[in-house]
């Protein structure tokens, strides 16, 4: 407050800065207080009004009884409980018919009705509530969900704080053909626990780094790992999110699921080689023709039984428990591990039965579409090119099949996985250098057994896929050996090298040295020093020198 001269105007700073010192003249206080409408008393009344907001005219105009507020809080709490339950279970809220007469009003309204009917307190409040006060309308549901998502995200980011983290992202299109980006964080919290949290789903048009980090206010400098869908544009070497993050932070290493990388290496091979892509398209058509009808599967099964009986009589195969079991072809999928290899094995095993089945379909099928597919498949499958690609891809995929199975084991360790990758690369290289003659001999025997015309390797290769004007005349030997055999293996090796990079392999091998199994038997000081060099922002050259002796002390300490 300020000292006053007169009734309405204040002046001086005796009571706010310098302090009052003229105690001999106590009447000065009365001068300071002044009349009813002076500055001091007006300030005092405003202060009192601020402290007692219920007496404001705004409060008097919007005054509600205590009972109304209690009832509103009961309704609000009931609605929030239902929403929290549906969110925690990942269930849909709304349905197609939510009218009062509907027998099934979907999850949200049905759950609210259940709660009202099984809680007397809520039931008493609910039955006297007008429709617009029940807080069940779709816009209010969305507001509650958005608020819950905001608070959940805030809690995750607060828990993550300033600690280092890895980011995992996947993208897909929803039913409305909108690009959705799913974001998950992995970090170590203050208790030393490894935490993995789903951060949210972001709608983006270009899946750019700016939209992601602006949305959640994440710092690029704190990222120490990134993982995306192997075929996603986010992992592109030049314009993808991976490269954008690496430009800002060289320590944000890209690591992806080994099994995914192996499978995507196959998909990339198919996409980059037209003959191999055409081959797998025909295999997919064959799967559809055979598996789309129970009648056709029965035809294939009966033909298979006849072939097995004939082979047993001729002594070509032996009988026994678990041998000569029925099999059927299944459509291969890009995300089902080793499905392509399994499909090719079935085709090789049931080749004659499939030819017989296609003959029957061509003669008896009433659908012109199926009939046409059967005719094309018969012509293609009885060609030398189909048989050659079939055995080539079976041999190539058989090498990485073992690796794929091993990478999916829950108890697989990093060191063994990296050794298996190296072995697979070596086996592919060996086949490229020494496997041509054995492959050609295997194809020749298969053609003789199934009456497929064997080509003369010295003749000119005949193709119907290109116009004669642009046709490059090459021999059968050059086409099948160079344009198919060498190119397929070379591209397979290239994809393995691109997806299992030396930097990523070395990083994981260094990390594996920290495994506590068998009393830290994997401990390797030199690899851990190398690991520190991957993170220059955390370890300076001087700190790395000091780390040498620290690691020795650490090893002795943890072992004891």
Domain definitions of the chain by residue range: 14-61, 66-144, 161-256, 264-500, 503-559
Name every residue whose Cβ is closer than 8 Å to that of residue 337 and which is 6 or more positions away in sequence. Answer: 259, 263, 404, 405, 408
Alpha carbon 451 to chain centroid distance? 47
Structure tokens at 266: 């196959």
Residue whose C-alpha is closest to residue 547's, from 555, 515, 508, 188: 555
**pLDDT under 50 in the chain at which residues?**
1-10, 207, 237-238, 312, 315-318, 320-326, 337
pLDDT tens digits for range 130-182: 766 778 888 888 999 999 988 888 888 888 888 889 888 777 776 777 777 78
Question: What is the rounded end-to-end Cα distance, in angstroms, of the chain?
Answer: 70
Nearest-angstrom CA–CA distance, 398 and 512: 28
Quote the CA–CA distance of 458 and 310 in Å, as a whole number.
36
H helix or E strand, kind and range, residue 377: helix 368-381
Locate all alpha helices (DSSP H) within 273-367, ordered by sequence.
274-291, 294-314, 339-349, 351-364
The structure tokens listed for 213 are: 């980090």
| Three-state DSSP class for residue 253 | strand
Q: Which two tokens stand for residue 345?
A: 């094995």
| Residue 233, pLDDT score | 52
Residue range 161-256 forms a domain whose CATH class is alpha beta
Query: In 3D, which of 275, 278, 377 has the Cα closest to residue 369?
Result: 377
Q: Are 282 and 377 in contact (CB under 8 A)?
A: yes
Q: What is the dihedral of CA 55, 59, 65, 66, to 10 degrees?
A: -80
In 3-state terms, what secondary structure has residue 4? strand
Which two three-digit tokens encode residue 474? 């090459």
pLDDT given for residue 4 in this prediction: 44
Q: Does the pTM exceed 0.95?
A: no
Q: Which pLDDT does position 420 carry in this prediction?
A: 80
Decide if 150 contacts 157 (C-beta within 8 A): no
The per-residue pLDDT for 235 is 54
Residues 239-284: tens digit of each pLDDT: 567 777 788 788 888 777 666 667 667 666 776 788 888 888 888 8
Q: How far are the Cα atoms of 34, 35, 41, 45 from residue 2, in angstroms, in the given order?
A: 11, 14, 11, 15
- DSSP H stretches of helix in 408-501: 414-434, 436-450, 476-478, 487-499
pLDDT of residue 438: 92
């Amino acid at each position: 407050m300020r000292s006053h001269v007169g009734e309405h105007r204040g002046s001086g700073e005796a009571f706010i800065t310098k302090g009052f010192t003229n105690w001999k003249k106590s009447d000065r206080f009365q001068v300071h207080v002044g009349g009813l409408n002076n500055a001091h008393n007006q300030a005092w009344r405003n202060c009192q009004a601020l402290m007692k907001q219920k007496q404001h005219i705004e409060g008097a105009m919007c005054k509600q009884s205590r009972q109304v507020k209690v009832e509103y809080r009961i309704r609000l709490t009931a609605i929030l409980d239902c929403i929290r339950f549906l969110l925690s279970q990942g269930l849909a809220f709304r349905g197609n018919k939510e009218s009062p007469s509907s027998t099934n009003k979907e999850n949200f309204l049905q759950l609210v009705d259940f709660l009202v009917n099984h809680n007397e307190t809520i039931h008493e409040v609910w039955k006297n509530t007008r429709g617009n006060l029940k807080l069940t309308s779709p816009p209010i549901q969305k507001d509650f969900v958005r608020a819950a998502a905001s608070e959940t995200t805030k809690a995750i980011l607060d828990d993550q704080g300033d600690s280092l983290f890895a980011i995992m992202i996947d993208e897909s299109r929803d039913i409305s053909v909108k690009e959705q980006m799913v974001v998950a964080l992995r970090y170590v919290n203050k208790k030393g626990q490894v935490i993995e949290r789903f951060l949210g789903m972001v709608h983006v048009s270009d899946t750019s780094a700016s939209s992601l980090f602006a949305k959640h206010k994440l710092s690029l400098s704190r990222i120490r790992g990134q993982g995306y869908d192997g075929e996603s544009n986010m992992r592109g070497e030049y314009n993808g999110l991976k490269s954008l993050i690496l430009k800002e932070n060289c320590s944000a290493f890209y690591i992806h699921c080994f099994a995914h990388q192996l499978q995507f290496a196959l998909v990339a091979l198919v996409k980059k080689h037209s003959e191999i892509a055409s081959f797998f398209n025909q295999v997919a058509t064959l799967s559809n023709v055979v598996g789309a009808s129970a009648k056709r599967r029965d035809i294939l099964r009966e033909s298979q039984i006849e072939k097995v009986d004939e082979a047993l009589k001729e002594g070509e195969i032996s009988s026994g428990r678990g041998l000569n079991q029925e099999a059927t072809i299944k459509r291969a999928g890009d995300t089902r591990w080793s499905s392509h290899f399994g499909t090719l094995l079935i085709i090789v095993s049931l080749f004659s039965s499939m030819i017989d089945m296609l003959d029957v379909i061509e003669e008896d099928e009433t659908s012109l579409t199926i009939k046409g597919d059967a005719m094309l498949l018969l012509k293609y499958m009885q060609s030398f090119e189909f048989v050659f690609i079939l055995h080539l891809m079976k041999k190539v995929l058989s090498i990485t099949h073992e690796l794929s199975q091993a990478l999916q084991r829950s108890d697989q360790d990093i060191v063994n996985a990296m050794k298996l990758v190296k072995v697979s690369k070596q086996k592919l290289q060996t086949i490229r250098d020494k496997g041509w003659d054995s492959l050609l001999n295997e194809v020749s025997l298969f053609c003789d057994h199934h009456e497929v015309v064997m080509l003369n390797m010295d003749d000119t290769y005949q193709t119907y896929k290109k116009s004669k004007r642009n046709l490059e005349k090459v021999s059968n030997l050059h086409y099948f050996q160079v344009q198919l055999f060498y190119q397929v293996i070379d591209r397979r090796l290239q994809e393995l090298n691109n997806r299992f990079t030396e930097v990523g392999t070395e990083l994981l091998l260094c990390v594996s040295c920290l495994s506590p199994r068998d009393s830290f038997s994997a401990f390797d000081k030199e690899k851990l020093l190398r690991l520190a060099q991957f993170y220059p922002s955390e370890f300076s050259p001087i700190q790395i020198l000091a780390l040498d002796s620290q690691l020795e002390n650490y090893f002795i300490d943890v072992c004891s």
